[in-house]
Structure 1
């Protein structure tokens, strides 16, 4: 059984959805425990089938039985225990995707999970409890909905523009510089961004830099990089600064980091 798998959406859908990934213990008879997930600057819509999973965020422990769950932005590592005969399918949404639905105020919603009624989902008319059993059906539904959303909204909104600028500058830009590019006040940028994501712009940039550094660490030996190289490449002041930020998220040092304990993205 392949516990972790990734499934990719259409090119137009990728504007809003990064991918769909599965944690599949549906045929397993033993508990999968103490697996870890790192923050990545995305929201997640989780679909649980079978028994239940336990998720420990920096705020509390959640027991998630069968159903649909919205997972907010995470700022620290998350611990996951998957019961036997349980499958988790996760639709990973970009940071700006929820800003397309202005009725959501996520200002104070981070490191948290809530259960949602499937009828509340934008594509609710096509979802049911058995949806998770067929990944191709889920991909078709997600592609169809978000491709239509893409067509209906050809222009980027403010939150998407902010994220695009951050990416264009390789996560090395200040809020004041973003404000100058968009000709808007820092206060307005911060309010709009936190309402849509639950994060400050600075925290979002820190998360993206951290994930890039982890990806580099995993290929350090092949690319003959040192820890100092990784730190400087990702614009940390020095190796000590990088280690401190790394410990803030993982509670361990880069040298003690064990990638086998984590669910990490596959290389495409």
Structure 2
């Protein structure tokens, strides 16, 4: 895991900014002389804005292969594992946005935008950053913008409310229960959520559940907590249901899963 830790780092925004940004993470091969190959990233229910400096990074999603040379990129919600190859002398800094953040900007219709990456013009961003900005400067700019955004929008919109209900519910929740809590029709909530995230509410719940299970597997002594216990704790029907869903995303079983092949969240 030590090589991963050198290559992968996490940086955290202010408490107020965490309403919109989960974290900033870096894949840094800027001093490397060789290609970093076949590293994997799991879906996590977030959007990512990537800043590539240096040579290039190659990303394989479930839809296609992307060659990302120096520049700014917007990465949609991912529904399966993503394979990453990082060229030498390359650094990627990634701003991880919560699922509801883009719903603050009504011009974006992301309903058909999953497992995809597009190059963007930095001039279109709501805040000014450059490729050369160090992560400390990106944190400062992000905090300044997000704290102001939070002040301007003290009330949660429906997409943020949906995500908040899902996050705070101990047991798995249905769309009908969410609609009841928000006193809205299921159909209207589904349309709003899909337009803002590209995912159905049910798919978003599944991604969060899967990611929570993986983090638990990695950060727990499996001798003390069995796969059955992890499966039931995360509201899978049973161990076989958990294994089947796990294979859908990773193409591996929990027993053959190798955390060293993945960039996984650091335990805070």
Q: Return the alpha-carbon distance in structure 2 between the equivalents of residues 190 and 171 of structure 1.
A: 20
Equivalent-residue separation in structure 2 for 1:221 and 1:68 (angstroms): 39
3-state SS in 2 of match to 1:81: strand
Aligned to 2:149: 149
Q: Which residue of 1 aligns with 2:220?
A: 220
Structure 1 pair 4–252 and aligned structure 2 pair: CA distance change class (3 A): same
**1:64-79 → structure 2 map (5 Å cutoff):** 64-79=68-83
Match of 2:87 in 1: 83
1:27 counterpart residue number = 31
Tell me how far 1:235 sits from its aligned partner. Answer: 0.6
Structure 2 partner of 1:257: 257
The SS at the match of 1:265 is coil
CA offset at residue 216 of structure 1?
Answer: 1.2
CA distance in structure 2 between the partners assigned to 1:155 and 1:128 by the alignment: 31
Report the CA distance between 1:222 and its aligned residue.
Answer: 6.4
* Corresponding residue number in structure 1 for 2:98: 94
TM-score of the superposed pair, with normalisation by structure 1: 0.97
TM-superposition CA deviations, 1:63-88 (whole Å, max 9, x none): 00000000000000000000000000
Following the alignment from structure 2 to structure 1, what is the Cα–Cα distance between the partners of residues 171 and 229? Answer: 17
Structure 1 residues 198 and 236, CA, compared in 2 at 3 Å: closer, same or farther?
same
Deviation at 1:223, TM superposition (A): 7.1
Distance 1:61 1:151 in 2: 39
5+ long unaligned stretches in structure 1: none
Q: What is the number of residues matched between the two proteins?
A: 264
Cα distance in 2 between the residues matched to 1:171 and 1:110: 27
Tell me the equivalent position of 1:127: 129
Q: How many angstroms apart in 1 are the aligned matches of 2:161 and 2:223?
A: 33
Q: 1 CA distance for matches of 2:223 and 2:122?
A: 45
**Correspondences of 1:7-46 after superposition (within 5 Å):** 7-46=11-50
- Spell out structure 1 runs of 4+ moving beyond 4 A: none
**1:56 Cα offset (Å):** 0.2
Deviations along 1:157-190, one digit per CA (max 9) or x if unpaired, are: 0000000000111361000010111111110010
Structure 2 partner of 1:190: 190
1:53–1:171 distance in 2 versus 1, CA, 3 Å: farther
Deviation at 1:40, TM superposition (A): 0.2
Conserved 8 A contact 1:48-1:87: yes
Question: TM-score, length-normalised on structure 2?
Answer: 0.97
The gaps in structure 2 that reach 5 residues or longer are none
What is the alpha-carbon distance in structure 1 between the residues aligned to residue 214 and residue 23 of structure 2?
Answer: 19
